[in-house]
Amino acid sequence: MKKKVLIILAICSIASVASANLLVNGDFSDITGAGWNAWNGTAVVNQDNAGAPLPLLTPGDVAYANYAGKAWGNWAYPWTNAGFSQVLPATAGDVYTLSGLVMHLSSDAMVGDTFAVIKLVFQDALGAELYGQDVVQVDATSLTDTWIPGSLTLTAPAGTTQVEALFLHFQPSGVGAGAAFVDNMTLVPEPMTLVLLGMGGLLLRKRK
């Protein structure tokens, strides 16, 4: 019994060391957008088009201090996208969890087929995509003025040397108003050896 507890404690302490967020400026507190690649209609803002503060992330947030990423369409071409991304070194076999908050405002709501996602893409040394997956977090049917959490957890396939974390605003029909906001993005890796250790810990507990 004592031994099992010690093993589980050891696993927990190793895991806590490993659980570091890889993204730079995931909360957009650096309002220059440092760390992020951004393209097409994007900005780092703390207010809507009329100057009203963004909805608070938590009750403790201070109005107007809460900067977030904003992306919108250009209303001209089908399937245009705008967004933010970061490319980071990655290891095949490791497990990556991307999380973030996404939102659209009632004062500038997304309409039609417009939608926004968070996405993970694993790439080889040449930057070619090996595997990618996204989670649709906000579209015309989503609650407005409410930060919606989302996350996805994926294992880096063989050949992976880097991972790209993205927030994307898509406009499939090329028309439609509205903007999407993103905040508190995190990308947390977990080495495969720790995942196996964790599974071992679960087995130990199950056999108790």
Least distance in angstroms from the C-beta of 27 to Ca ion = 4
Write each residue from 170 to 199 as x if it is in contact with Ca ion (CB under 5 A), else as -, in one continuous string.
-------------x----------------
Least distance in angstroms from the C-beta of 25 to Ca ion = 9
Whichever of 138 and 156 has its CB closer to Ca ion, that residue is 138
Instruction: Collect all residues with Cβ–Cβ distance below 8 Å to 29 and sequence separation of at least 6.
Output: 67
| Residues 7 and 201 sit within 8 Å (Cβ to Cβ) | yes
CA-based nearest residue to 22, from 88, 83, 84, 68: 88
Structure tokens at 129: 């995509």
Which of 11, 23, 26, 27 touches Ca ion (CB under 5 A)? 27
Under the criterion CB under 5 A, does residue 84 sit at the interface with Ca ion? Answer: no
Least distance in angstroms from the C-beta of 2 to Ca ion = 44
Q: Which residue has the tokens 């490791």?
A: 94
Of 21-29, 127-135, 139-147, 196-204: span binding Ca ion (CB under 5 A) = 21-29
Of 22-30, 86-94, 95-103, 167-175: span binding Ca ion (CB under 5 A) = 22-30
Cα of first residue to Cα of last residue in the chain, in angstroms, is 8
Handedness of CA 134, 44, 181, 75 (dihedral sign): negative
| Binding residues for Ca ion restricted to 39-68, rule: CB under 5 A | none
Least distance in angstroms from the C-beta of 101 to Ca ion = 9
* Burial of 58: CB neighbours in 10 Å, binned 0-12, 13-18, 19+: exposed
Under the criterion CB under 5 A, does residue 28 sit at the interface with Ca ion? Answer: yes
Under the criterion CB under 5 A, does residue 36 sit at the interface with Ca ion? Answer: no
**Could you count the other beta carbons within 10 Å of the beta carbon of residue 83?**
24
Binding residues vs Ca ion (CB under 5 A): 27-28, 183
